[in-house]
Structure 1
Amino acid sequence: MTSPAQRQLYRFLEDRFTCAQACAECARACAVHASLLDPDGKEPHERVRRLGIMCAEVCDATCRTLCEQNGRDEDGIRAQLEWCRSVCVECARAFDGQPGAGSAAADCRACAAACADFMAALD
């Protein structure tokens, strides 16, 4: 039988893994979608492409932070999660107007939700 403290730790680790997995999926989707946009330098395509690349980089960094974090630097984790959440929301909104970007926008929203959920687990 597991103690309440063990269950809390397991839940924390599951939430952390779920968030890292969502970040990895979002990074992949954003990188793929950004590479499909014609880099013609014209708005809004160039802005969306850059935002997709930035989102992929932020999600990748967040995933690495969650996977490699040895200590519990909650302030640092929380700041990274909030940054990721806000970039994902902005990217999802930008992808909404792009043809064929529905799944990438959904991955961005799922990642933003996972970041928010994990931040709540830190409380």
Structure 2
Amino acid sequence: MTAMTSQRELIRFLEDRFECAQACAEAARACALRASVVDPDGPREQELVRRKGLLCVEVCDATCRVLAEEARRDTAAIRVQVEWCRSVCSECADVFDEHPGGQDGAKSCRECAQACTDFLATLSRA
């Protein structure tokens, strides 16, 4: 990671990193709940909701772990992980929007995608 130019920038970086990790955890929780109420043997559309939800859980959990590693200094790897999380959360939100009862999960996924976007902006300035 490049040298931070001020203490305030470092604090903002860490706050954005934490907010992103929190949003990922919330999206993972919402997706796990949504995936658990979908019948895996149900119609093809329900299986898509279930699979997207489970993928989102895995990606968000992995992103939380990456963001929690204080010793990790590989900005490029962090960026790739957060961008992947943002993409998966956006896709998951779109899938959830199309199914009854999926609005809460979609909202959590969109909030996570936005937190990822915000963190990436901070990462670019770091």
Any unmatched runs of 5+ in structure 1?
none
TM (norm. structure 1) is 0.94
Cα distance in 2 for residues equivalent to 1:46 and 1:116: 28
Superposed CA RMSD: 1.1
User: What is the identity percentage for the equivalent residue pairs of Structure 1 and Structure 2?
Assistant: 62
**Following TM superposition, where does structure 1 have runs of at least 4 consecutive aligned residues deviating by more than 4 angstroms?**
none
2:18 match: secondary structure: helix
2:41 corresponds in structure 1 to 40
Partner Cα distance (1:114, 1:94) in 2: 19
For each residue in 1:68-122, what CA deviation from the matched residue of structure 2 results, as whole angstroms up to 9, or x when unmatched?
2413211000000110000000000000011111111000000000001101111
Distance 1:98 1:71 in 2: 38
Residue 14 (structure 2) pairs with residue 17 (structure 1):
no
Equivalent residue for 1:73?
Answer: 74
Q: Name the CA distance, whole Å, in 2 between partners of 1:39 and 1:71.
A: 38
- Give how far 1:42 is off: 2.7
Measured against aligned partners, the alpha-carbon deviations of 1:21-72 in whole angstroms (never above 9, x if no partner) come to 0000000000010001111153111011001000011001001110124132
TM-score normalised according to structure 2 size: 0.91
Q: What amino acid is aligned across from residue 111 of structure 1 in structure 2?
A: C
1:93-112 matches, within 5 Å, as 93-112=94-113
1:82 is aligned to 83
Structure 2 alignment gaps of length 5 or more: none
